[in-house]
Amino acid sequence: MRLAKYLAHGGIASRRAAEELIRAGRVRVGDEVVTDPARDVDESSGVQVDGRAVVPERVEVWMVNKPAGVVSTAKEPGRRRAVTELVSSSGRLYPVGRLDADSTGLILLTNDGELANRLTHPRYEVPKSYAVTLARPPSARDLERLRRGVKLEDGPTAPAEVRRHGERQIEITVREGRNRQVRRMAEAVANRVVALERVRFGPLELGALAPGAARRLSGREVGSLWEDGAR
């Protein structure tokens, strides 16, 4: 692992701030002062900052069923709860992507920045599925427009998978990560979302996880996320 990343995983500083610490000569590897942030190190290398040993955090990935009213941030300066407060962990966890406060369902938390990037960067096209209740029953034409892509103010959307599950209920799968995308897509076909729940993220399904509950992912599940984001 590169030295700057090792320091970031150890909770010393962000990756960029860690690079500044290294270039300032405050980091030793064994008995040597190292000023190259790209130096390869591991737990046996004896990394120290200002004379203190650095041990990286264990990687954690959690699935949370976010209730309405909870915000998708690491910290919430206002009165609303942050999604990180739903997880019993001492790690520095951050949401992978976001759900707006009124939306519910599956959101991931992790301290692995590389995994978060793999899951959210548009080029990897990781699918996310939502159970959506609309204000009015969509027509067959509306559904076909959503499938083909609709025009938004920030450009047309990519094709989506759309299935009807009831008079006003649909499931939509998108591979982009635009802000409030599903809600804006509904507005583009003269409709409105009244309830939105994320039910799948890549290979993971929300399943029977109760609202407000969280569980830590197994090694196999984390591995499946890497595979899904490796396209």
More confident residue, 229 or 175: 175
Write the pLDDT tens digit of every residue in 58-116. 889 999 999 999 999 877 666 789 999 999 988 889 899 889 999 999 999 998 888 88
> Same domain for 48 and 114?
no
CB-side neighbour CA atoms (13 Å) of 144: 3
Instruction: State pLDDT tens for residues 139-195.
Output: 999 999 999 999 999 999 999 999 999 999 999 999 998 999 999 999 999 999 999
Q: Do residues 132 and 194 both lie within one domain? A: yes
> Is the overall model pTM greater than 0.85, yes or no?
no
The CATH number that applies at residue 29 is 3.10.290.10
Question: Both 167 and 214 in a single domain?
Answer: no
Measured CA to CA in angstroms, residue 99 lies from 38, 95, 107, 181 at distances of: 35, 9, 7, 10
134 and 191 assigned to the same domain: yes
Do residues 37 and 135 both lie within one domain? no
Domain holding 197, by residue range, is 127-201
- The vertex-188 CA angle with 182 and 189, nearest 5°, equals 100
- Distance CA(59)–CA(33), nearest Å, equals 27
Catalytic residues: 100
10 in the same domain as 41: yes
**Contact in structure between 86 and 108 (CB atoms under 8 Å):** no
Q: What is the tens place of the pLDDT at every residue in 4-31? A: 988 887 778 778 889 999 999 999 999 9
Residue 148 is classified by DSSP as: H
The CATH number given to whatever domain includes residue 133 is 3.30.70.1560
Note whether 211 and 197 are same-domain residues: no
Predicted confidence at residue 77, as pLDDT, reads: 65
CATH code, domain with 218: 3.30.70.580
